Amino acid sequence: MLKFENVTKVFNGPQGEVVALNDVSFAVESGEMVVVRGPSGCGKSTLLLTAGTLLRPTQGAVSIGGTDPYASTPSLRSALRASTIGFVFQQFHLVPYLSVLENVMLPSVVQFADDAALRAQDLLARFGLEHRAHHVPAQLSVGERQRTAMARALFSRPKLLLADEPTGNLDSENGGIVLKALNAFAAEGGSVLLVTHDSAKGIGSARTLQMINGGLVSQNGGQL
Ligand SMILES: Nc1ncnc2c1ncn2[C@@H]1O[C@H](COP(=O)(O)OP(=O)(O)OP(=O)(O)O)[C@@H](O)[C@H]1O
């Protein structure tokens, strides 16, 4: 589903060039969750943004479902992103003045206009948020905000979920709910790429890769 081939990303920072991704090759198949661990600054966010079609690599090829997003026009790239990828961040990025229900419906209001509210309500129920549908994010607990963000990420029926420290701000109960949902998404045939700097529990049988200075190595000698 997601494939990186010899991907390198170099930033031109104030102190010169920074190699944020260094010749990274790996794949995430359908039905698989891959966890990338690594210390702060090793390149995890750069990896996710590049996978998310939001940051063009300096070298190498990215493929999502067989398509190279960076070989497409910006509008085709956006369309691929909207139809294929869901994002979950540590900071939930909910729209503060929209209700929980509206936030969940946000990704594809046009595409799913007819059944958007029904689908959003189903997702709210799945994450135990029915009673919060008409609240705004500021009225929610931190765990409820992340569950709302998970519901939003799943709304468009993505094939690939990209998660950046999704449990970083959560207590163990809410962190467990989020990890369970990510595992369930993979068990149903989706692909998950989760990056974290901690040793999050509950990642199940997910393959774990280690990121060091922009490079990716297998943690247990297995396949990348
Ligand atoms: N836009 C940019 N311009 C210059 N350098 C950048 C830019 N974005 C990231 N970097 C550098 O690239 C390297 C990798 O950054 P990245 O944010 O991917 O790391 P990270 O592993 O996600 O860190 P953290 O866990 O702290 O979020 C760092 O040295 C960072 O300073």
Hey, which of 12, 18, 49 would you mutate to test ligand 1's pocket, going by the most ligand atoms within 8 Å of its Cβ? 18
Inside any domain, residue 102? yes
Is the minimum distance from the CB of 14 to ligand 1 under 6 angstroms?
A: no
**How far away, in angstroms, is 40 Cα from ligand 1 center?**
8
Inside any domain, residue 223? no
Burial class (CB in 10 A: 0-12, 13-18, 19+), 162: buried
Domain CATH for 92: 3.40.50.300
Cα distance between residue 10 and residue 155, in whole Å: 33
Burial class (CB in 10 A: 0-12, 13-18, 19+), 172: exposed
Contact 190, 160 (CB under 8 A): yes
**How far away, in angstroms, is 9 Cα from ligand 1 center?**
11
State the pTM of this model: 0.90
Inside any domain, residue 212? yes
Per the structure, the count of domains in the chain is: 1
**How far away, in angstroms, is 191 Cα from ligand 1 center?**
24
Inside any domain, residue 105? yes
Is the minimum distance from the CB of 132 to ligand 1 under 6 angstroms?
A: no
Is the minimum distance from the CB of 44 to ligand 1 under 6 angstroms?
A: yes
Inside any domain, residue 199? yes
Beta-bridge partners for 27: 3
The complex's ipTM works out to 0.95
Q: What is the pLDDT of residues 49-88, one digit of tens each?
A: 999 999 999 999 999 999 999 999 999 999 999 899 999 8
What is the domain range of residue 50?
2-218
Inside any domain, residue 138? yes
Mean pLDDT of 182-195: 94
**H-assigned helices in the chain:** 44-51, 74-84, 100-105, 116-126, 142-155, 172-187
Inside any domain, residue 206? yes
Inside any domain, residue 224? no
Is it the case that residue 115 has pLDDT exceeding 90?
Answer: no
**How far away, in angstroms, is 19 Cα from ligand 1 center?**
9
How confident is residue 96, by pLDDT bands cut at 50, 70 and 90?
confident
Burial class (CB in 10 A: 0-12, 13-18, 19+), 215: middle
